[in-house]
Amino acid sequence: MLNRLIHTVWEPVEILASSLRSRRGLDILLLFGIFGFLFGFLQVGQEWTAFMRPQFEIDLSPWALPRYTFYTMTRGLLAYLLSLGFTFVYAYWVAKDERSEKFLIPLLDILQSIPTLSFLLPLLLAFVQLFPNNNIGLELTAIITIFTSQVWNMTFDLYYSLKTVPPDLSEVGRVFRFNWYQRFKWIELPYGATGLAWNSMLSMAGGWFFLMVIETIRLGNNDYRLPGLGSYMVAAVEQGNRSAIVLGLLATFAMVIFLDQILWRPIVVWTQRFDTDASSNRSFQQHWFLTILKESSLVRSIEKWRKEASLRRLLQQPLDQIPSIRYENFMRFMEQVGPKLSFFFLTAIVIIIGIGSVKIVRLLAPLTSQDWLLLLKADAMTLGRVVISTLLGLLWALPVGLMIGLSPRVLKVFQPVVQIVASFPSSMLFPIMIAFFAYLQISLSIGSILLMLLATQWYILFNVIAGASMIPSELREASAAFNMNRWQTFKSLYFPSILPHLVTGCLTAAGAAWNASIVCEYVTLQNQQISTFGLGSVLSLAGANGNGSQLAAATLVLATTVVLFNRLVWKRLYELAETRYSLIK
């Protein structure tokens, strides 16, 4: 039904695209889109540089929704670009430097385990003091906070892709004498492109999940709300405006579909060129937006002008200043200074962490043993909910992900549906879910597990789909030739092939569940607070009351639990995937 709805919504667009096959029509369509985005970015710039308002009233009229939707989408996209840059640098650094890897991977575990609220309040106080007269500080706070809910699973996925590049691909780089940048560009990044694309969609969805918290910050008498879909939905829920709630959900759904069609679907289709399965007979998917870009004379003219300009610059330069020569000299220089830069940045990170640790110790000094005992009990409750929600997600996401990833026909049908449903911020459905729990007389202690499941299950599903779609077809044909039944094929082929992706999905799902506990164990509905005992509710209450000591202590307990669980469980599973169940060694 949902697939039919998506097809109905986008059928007029595809008809319009097919009717504009003339290059002039395609150029006009692209120009309208470009000028529309430029106008939107001008509006965003005016909002950023406007004077900070002591009180901000959210306009619940339908006419405000397009503007609010564009504001929210811009914050998410800027945060994603920041996450992508961080992923490339951090994942490559950790994968290539064994000395830094021993320290930076546990640090990544800790950063992933720190809840969004723990980043939000310090960032807000810092940026508001840096930019006291305009909204730049508030916008940077929102963008960086969204970044902290996006970046970790992307970084983990690319890191493990870099660590598991098949030996035959690495041998190609050695034969052609690739330098470090060429290996990354032509071998390592293409190999990890599929998983990174799927995890990028999940990252964007993770950012949307905390919209209602990020865009509606209030500390005491200070109102730091930002215009956007999250603040619109909070205002609609607080006022009990059902029509505004429905309009907000529809606007969110429209934004998700727009990004799916303009950004994520084209990226997934584009990553097909990096398919490492040479014997695969699968037919490559096409997309209407990529077709428009390929057939547009405007895009072709820009590309032709770029190539001609590059050729002119090359011909006008002396032989000893040819870019390729300077490029090789720069690459050799970077290979020489790379270890020194790595040591310098690693030392800087250790010093910053040391200074921060001293301040945290001072902040924790007022807490008593009873306070710590209460936090440990709350931690145990939330840990149980996280494990149960991850297992529930695994039960259905593993078979469904294999079914979708192993069949190009099924993948083509269900991929857009999965992308759109997964990208929708499930936190906006929490008011409806809470009302449903109240009707069935389900306590939030149990209901919070289902709320966590809404936020975490897609991490497992997307990683299983990505892993299953990369299984070589000759191995599947060999299993069929030996007349292996489904269980034998799963045990001997499917499970070993997807295990690294499956562990990544479970790890990030568990991390997302810990993070989601803030809004799952402490829910505000029509100015009424509904909570259940757990570390997430402790964090939410500490943030609402401005209790820095309790907030720091709860964050420390949460981070310690996540790191220990990752070391004792996920790390061992990764080692198992790289040794006993590896298909590339």
Distance, in Å, from the CA atom of 148 to the CA atom of 120, rounded to the nearest integer, reads: 9
Within a domain: 492: yes
CB 217 within 8 A of CB 231: no
Within a domain: 33: no
Residue 347 confidence (pLDDT) above 90: no
- Tokens for 235, please give them: 């205002």
Distance, in Å, from the CA atom of 569 to the CA atom of 511, rounded to the nearest integer, reads: 13
Q: Are residues 564 and 487 in the same domain?
A: yes
Q: Are residues 439 and 314 in the same domain?
A: no
Distance, in Å, from the CA atom of 250 to the CA atom of 56, rounded to the nearest integer, reads: 23
3-state secondary structure of 529: strand
More confident call, 402 vs 221: 402
Within a domain: 189: yes
Residues whose CB falls within 8 Å of the CB of residue 364, separated by 6 or more in sequence, listed in order: 549, 552, 553, 556
pLDDT band for position 83 (cuts 50, 70, 90): very high
Mean pLDDT estimate for the chain:
78
Q: How far are the Cα atoms of 117, 127, 153, 224, 519 from residue 213, in angstroms, in the given order?
A: 8, 17, 21, 11, 8
Distance, in Å, from the CA atom of 162 to the CA atom of 541, rounded to the nearest integer, reads: 40
Tell me which residue of 107, 387, 382, 120 sits closest to 230, measured CA to CA: 120
Within a domain: 26: no
Q: Which of 344, 365, 386 is the last residue of a domain?
A: 365
Domain that holds residue 303: 299-365
- Tokens for 409, please give them: 């026909």
Q: Are residues 307 and 353 in the same domain?
A: yes
Q: Which of 200-204, 338-342, 352-356 has the lowest mean pLDDT?
A: 338-342
The residue behind tokens 């069935």 is 440
Q: Is the dihedral angle over the CA atoms 2, 405, 182, 300 positive or is it negative?
A: negative
* Mean pLDDT of the 547-557 span: 83
What's the total number of domains in the chain?
A: 2
By CB neighbour count within 10 A (0-12 exposed, 13-18 middle, 19+ buried), where does 182 fall?
A: middle
Q: Are residues 467 and 334 in the same domain?
A: no
Q: Are residues 540 and 423 in the same domain?
A: yes
- So what's the pLDDT on residue 19? 47
- So what's the pLDDT on residue 311? 66
Q: Are residues 518 and 566 in the same domain?
A: yes
Q: What is the pLDDT of residues 300-338, one digit of tens each?
A: 777 777 776 666 665 665 554 545 555 555 556 566 666
* Mean pLDDT of the 491-504 span: 82
Within a domain: 585: no
Q: Phi/psi class of residue 567: alpha, beta or left (left: φ > 0; alpha: ψ in -120 to 50)?
A: alpha
Distance, in Å, from the CA atom of 414 to the CA atom of 584, rounded to the nearest integer, reads: 29
Q: How far are the Cα atoms of 25, 29, 258, 271, 414 from residue 300, in angstroms, in the given order?
A: 14, 15, 24, 21, 33
- So what's the pLDDT on residue 97? 83
Within a domain: 217: yes
* Mean pLDDT of the 36-65 span: 79
- So what's the pLDDT on residue 395? 92
Q: Are residues 326 and 216 in the same domain?
A: no
pLDDT band for position 2 (cuts 50, 70, 90): very low
Specify the pTM. 0.77
* Mean pLDDT of the 332-358 span: 75
Q: Are residues 370 and 353 in the same domain?
A: no
Q: Are residues 351 and 378 in the same domain?
A: no
Within a domain: 24: no
**Antiparallel, parallel or unpaired: β 522-525 and 222-223:** unpaired
Q: How far are the Cα atoms of 304, 315, 420, 576 from residue 160, in angstroms, in the given order?
A: 38, 42, 26, 13
Amino acid at 261: Q
Q: What is the CATH number of the domain that holds 69?
A: 1.10.3720.10
**Most confident stretch, 51-55, 72-76, 272-276:** 72-76
- So what's the pLDDT on residue 389? 92
Residue 415 confidence (pLDDT) above 80: no
Distance, in Å, from the CA atom of 425 to the CA atom of 16, rounded to the nearest integer, reads: 29
Amino acid at 498: I
Tell me which residue of 238, 237, 257 sits closest to 247, measured CA to CA: 237
Q: What is the pLDDT of residues 114-164, one digit of tens each?
A: 777 777 778 887 888 888 888 888 888 889 988 988 888 789 889 988 888
pLDDT band for position 18 (cuts 50, 70, 90): low
For 409-434, the DSSP string reads HHHHHHHHHHHHHHHS-GGGGHHHHH
Distance, in Å, from the CA atom of 480 to the CA atom of 95, rounded to the nearest integer, reads: 36
Residues whose CB falls within 8 Å of the CB of residue 117, separated by 6 or more in sequence, listed in order: 213, 518, 539, 540, 543, 551
223 phi/psi in degrees, rounded to 5: -110, 110
Within a domain: 314: yes
CB 382 within 8 A of CB 518: no
- So what's the pLDDT on residue 277? 54
- Tokens for 583, please give them: 């298909």
Distance, in Å, from the CA atom of 78 to the CA atom of 96, rounded to the nearest integer, reads: 28
